[in-house]
Amino acid sequence: MQAHLNQALHNENFVAECCNNYPDNYFDWKVTATFYTALHLLRAFCEKREVDPGNTHYDIANSFDPRRCNNRPITQVPNFLWRSYSQIQKYSEQARYDVFLDHEVENEIQRENFKHCLILLKGLRDYFSQQGVPCVSEDAA
């Protein structure tokens, strides 16, 4: 569990550095690093619960997405958890692959997506913390 928590904190610190040094740029990377923070927090949570979500994004979806696991996730979680996690993942995929707009327009879209990612990540972090996963970030954005 600690390795995932360390990586999540590392990713959050990267996001914080980007926000401090480049407040108006690189939202694609901020979104992507926020997704990988969520991924490592989810993996730490799974280790805490002693369940294996698998090794790939596909495996994780099969373990938590109600439509893919017949409403029986590998461990009991509130409904918002998968919705929040998968939305952050979607934003990350859009940031990496759907970049066909004017740079300034794309930057503004990613800025708004990043703001939403932070809200969703806070909800995930709060839930995981309540479940005994020590994932409170000190330095992150």
Q: Per-residue DSSP letters for 69-109?
A: TTT--SS---HHHHHHHHHHHHHHHHHHH---S-HHHHHHH
Query: Could you list the pLDDT tens digit for every one of the 141 residues in the chain?
Result: 999 999 999 999 999 999 999 999 999 999 999 999 999 999 999 999 999 999 999 999 999 999 999 889 999 999 999 999 999 999 999 999 987 779 899 999 999 999 999 999 999 999 999 999 998 664 444
CA 11: distance to chain centroid? Answer: 10
What the chain holds in terms of domains, given with CATH numbers, is 2-130 (1.20.120)
Query: In this predicted structure, what is the pLDDT of residue 12?
Result: 97
Query: In this predicted structure, what is the pLDDT of residue 99?
Result: 76
